[in-house]
Structure formats: C-alpha cells, structure tokens
Amino acid sequence: MPISAWIMMSTGFTITIGGIIVCVIIANKKK
C-alpha cells in the first residue's frame, strides 16, 4: 500500500478515535 494511503487512513482514524478520546477525557474531568 502506498505511503499516501497509509497517511490518509491514519489521519482518519487519528482524528475520529483521537477526538472521541479527548471528548471522553473532558467529560470525565467535568464530572
């Protein structure tokens, strides 16, 4: 798989799953 494909796939997962993790951390801090 070309490096550009790896980068796009990783970007998608980083933003979505990373975003969820950040939101969950914020939610737990506000408890």
Partner 1 sequence: MSKEIREHWDSRTAFILAAIGSAVGLGNIWRFPYIVYKYGGGAFIIPFLVALLTAGIPLLILEFSLGHKTNKAAPGAFAFFNTKLKWIGWAAVFIGMGIVTYYTAIMSWSMIYFVKSFSLGWGTGTENFFFNNVLQLSESPSHIGYIVPVIFIGIILTWIWIYFSIIKGAKSVGKVVYITVICPWIILLILIVRGVTLPGAMNGLAYLFTPNFTALMDPEVWINAYSQVFFSISIGFGIMIAYGSFLPKKADIVNSAFIIGLADAATSLLASVAIFSALGHLALKKGADVANVVTSGPGLAFVTYPEIINLFPIGAPILGALFFAMLLTFGIDSAFSLVEAFSAAAVEKWNISRAKMNGIIGIIGIILGIIFTTQSGLYWLDIVDHYLAVYGLILIGIFECLAVGYIIKPEVIRNYANEQSDFPIGKWWDFMIKFFVPIVLIAIMIWNIWAEIANPYGGYSRSALLVGIGALVISFALGILLSINKKRTV
What would you report as the CA-atom Rg of the chain, rounded to the nearest whole angstrom? 13
Residue appearing with tokens 């914020």: 26
**Whole-number minimum distance, CB 29 to partner 1, in Å?**
8
CA distance linking residue 2 with residue 28, whole number of Å: 39
Show contacts with partner 1 in window 1-31 (CB under 8 A): 1-2, 4-9, 11-13, 15-17, 19-20, 23-24, 26-27, 30
**Residues at the interface with partner 1 (CB under 8 A):** 1-2, 4-9, 11-13, 15-17, 19-20, 23-24, 26-27, 30
